[in-house]
Amino acid sequence: MNSYSKVVTIDGPVGSGKGTVGQKLALKLGWGFLDSGALYRACALVATENSLDSSRSSAILKIVGDSDFRSEPRADGEEALVFLKGANVSEQIRTPDIARFASELATNESIRTGLMSIQNSYLRESGLIADGRDMGTVVFPNALLKVYLDANLHARAERKYIQLKNKGICVNFDALYKEIEQRDARDSTRIHAPLTKPEGALVIDTSNLPPDEVVIRILNELDAVCKMEFEIEKYC
Ligand code: C5P
């Protein structure tokens, strides 16, 4: 391999399908999986549990850093499993309140910088699928393939509504729609590592595409990139 890392990054706004597609890809390829959103949610969870606000970034990072954060892909299409100190916190971190607080904490530069080492520790020889908002632009700029998933706001809100409902969390659809709109706006306009399309990314609109179709498109592109890589290596 040349200077590219064996990483596929998948960035995009709320509900664009990053998690579902990323997990399917990781399981299909036998690569590691990093749900970086879960890491920001973990910060929000420990901050809430310890009554810490965003001004206490070092304390929040220390607790998360000592918690042996792990995200594991699931085969059943549900969101990734997330563990802190071995305890399954997957349900606790997926509430609308934690999502909002995570997005507020994510505007904080020290939090973002502090989480870099945990994210980098996910790099594996075997390969890594990393999903989030700044995976291709900031955290893994040398990724082999950068993907940007998008979908119209209505489709994305519907997906989130169904996900929450399946977990027994009842929310008002219009309120959720507004909440997602606000979170996207905050994530894309913040000063540090805002959500943007990475240069040269494969952009896929998932509004009317089932996840398996999206996976096939990404695998085809990956295949083409890997062949190119091999050619480059041969002539170096
Ligand atoms: O992807 P998910 O909805 O779990 O992410 C929760 C929040 O974490 C996002 O709204 C965003 O503010 C933040 N985040 C981020 N950078 C990432 C992943 C998530 O700022 N790479």
In a domain, 233, yes or no: no
Residue 2 confidence (pLDDT) above 60:
no
Per the structure, the complete domain to which residue 76 belongs is given by 3-224
Over range 14-42, report the average pLDDT: 96
Over range 226-235, report the average pLDDT: 63
Residue 196 confidence (pLDDT) above 50:
yes
Q: Kindly report, residue by residue over 111-159, the tens digit of the pLDDT.
A: 999 999 999 999 988 899 999 999 999 999 999 999 999 999 999 999 9
CATH number for 171? 3.40.50.300
In a domain, 229, yes or no: no
| Three state DSSP letters for the chain | CCCCEEEEEEECCCCCCHHHHHHHHHHHHCCEEEEHHHHHHHHHHHHHHCCCCHHHHHHHHHHHHCCCCEEECCCCCCCCEEEECCEECCCHHHCHHHHHHHHHHCCCHHHHHHCHHHHHCCCCCCCEEEEECCHHHHHCCCEEEEEEEECCHHHHHHHHHHHHHHCCCCCCHHHHHHHHHHHHHHHHHCCCCCCCCCCCCEEEECCCCCHHHHHHHHHHHHHHHHHHHHHHHHHC
Better pLDDT: 233 or 205? 205
In a domain, 236, yes or no: no
Decide: 183 in ligand 1 pocket, CB within 6 A.
Answer: yes
Domain count, the chain: 1
Residue 165 confidence (pLDDT) above 80:
yes
Decide: 12 in ligand 1 pocket, CB within 6 A.
Answer: no
Residue nearest to atom 1 of ligand 1 (CA): 37
In a domain, 231, yes or no: no
Over range 64-82, report the average pLDDT: 92
Q: How far apart are CA 130 and CA 123, in angstroms?
A: 9
Residue nearest to atom 10 of ligand 1 (CA): 103
| Mean pLDDT for the chain overall | 93
| pTM for this model (two decimals) | 0.94
Residue nearest to atom 5 of ligand 1 (CA): 37
In a domain, 230, yes or no: no
